[in-house]
Amino acid sequence: MKKIIVAIIAAAVIFVKRETDNRYKAVIMDVATAPITQTLSTTGTVESTNRGEFVIYTGVVVKDVFVKLGDKVEEGQLLATFDSASLNGIVAMKQSEYDAAKVNYYNSVAAAQEAAAKIPALRVQIVEYEKQIKQLEAAAENKEVEEKDENVPAWVDSIDYSKLASLLRDEYTEQEIRDFFAKFARRGASRKSISDIIDSMTNAASFDMSSLMGMSSAESELMSAQLNVMSLKAQIGLLETQSKNVLGSTYESMMNTAKANLDSAKTAVKQLEKGWYAEGAGIVSELNITAGQAFVPAAASSDSSVDINSLLGLMSGSTPDVSGLLSSFMSSGTQTSIGLAVEYYDSFIATFSLGKADILDVQVGKTATIESLGKEYEGEVTFISPVAGGGSSLDITSMFGSMTGAASGGSNTIPAQVLIKNPDERIIIGIDVNIDIIVDTVEDAVVVPIEAVETSSVGSFVYKFNQETNTVSRVEVEIGLASDTQYQIVSGLS
């Protein structure tokens, strides 16, 4: 057997026996072969990735509750039962909401198609009116003289032409529209009559030309034709907007949300009718129901419910707040609350962070041991993030960098998870646990105590004892695996 001397350094004096005369004694140990396992030790936090949530509607009467908060449950165990009479009408209400949303969506699609179909006929009418305008202008005895603004009433500029201009954006500017109606104002048309006609044009409604007074017969015919052309073009602008079915996607989202709410209601009511059963072994982590009482959510609000028919009516307004209305509808959709929740044992994990120096040693599938409240559990690495993230450990480099004004780099930690096998009541969500991950094992390794190895910037060395010459030589060695108490010597002790 080769022998080595345990080197005595200041950091390892506790491993050295002191003689009575206060001298230190070098311990000569035989080099041995033995299995060695290298582990990575860290801490993590317990989480659950399989939470079973049992939902309940406001007003449903709870008959019996068979568990308490924190109770362990087994697969198939009955948790609670409910009064079936209190469930009447829930699915019917959701069905009605879905039917209304579906009708409105398909109506919006049909309206868009109808709007597109009307446009060609309006273009034909415009062509006819434009021909008439040319004839009327050619037949006029005197060319129209330039009209000056000093004869225009001041209120002409207070009328809102913007909405009409938006419909006629490719045909007339807002100034051109203002100048056109100023002609009517010069001839005695009132502010109300002009405003009414503009409102009619922007809503594709008919209007009465007789309200525009003060024109000769020929002049009236020409300006009437010009007004009709503007009105028809405004109608086309409105129909083109309708044909794009701008609100169609919103109606569709409401329909899909209503359908999801209906499906959820059917599933929830079916569970409530049968009673709630645990889908696996686990622990009750939330309990908000009481036997013999109608369920009322802790944060119930009298105005949180939105009637879908009222919502659809609001959407038909001239300027609906689509995003706000849809958000209100979707947030009020199911109108359910969590009555009870179970954290299932098949998916308890401990989350932790790997450092840059460890990431190449740990892979998914590695065996781990998790220690919690004095008990050990088998585990397995099931996830290593492909993206670095923040960690809770102290990064000395980052600390000194911030103190010296150096730029902060990327994160030095990688999120990871271990699955905890066969957890019990000592595995508590949110608690810190100790994690030991087996990095590698060599069964027949040359091993020496950690104290026997001297490591410096130039390499690793041991002091080799020659029994024949009774001398000690310092030899360089290659280190392999490391446990808490030993190093594997890969080479150097031949």
Q: What is the pLDDT of residue 340?
A: 96
> How many Å apart are CA 324 and CA 36, to the nearest integer?
64
DSSP 8-state assignment for residue 281: S
Whole-angstrom distance, CA of residue 230 vs CA of residue 207: 13
pLDDT in tens, 346-365: 889 999 999 888 888 899 99
The share of the chain scoring above pLDDT 90, in percent, equals: 37
Phi, psi (5° rounding) for residue 272?
Answer: -65, -40
* Positions in the chain whose pLDDT score sits under 50: 1, 7-18, 300-306, 314, 318-319, 323, 330-334, 391-408
Which residue from 437, 425, 438, 439 is spatially nearest to 375, judged by alpha carbons?
425
Q: Which H or E run includes 62?
A: strand 62-65
Q: How confident is the model at residue 29, as a pLDDT?
A: 74
CB 230 within 8 A of CB 19: no
Q: Each residue of 60-82: pLDDT tens digit?
A: 999 999 999 999 999 999 999 99
> Coil, strand or helix: which one is 263?
helix
Q: Give residue 258's pLDDT.
A: 92
**Structure confidence at residue 149 (pLDDT):** 58
Q: Tell me the helices (H) and strands (E) count for the chain, helix number first.
A: 9, 19
Q: What are phi and psi of 63, to 5 degrees?
A: -85, -60
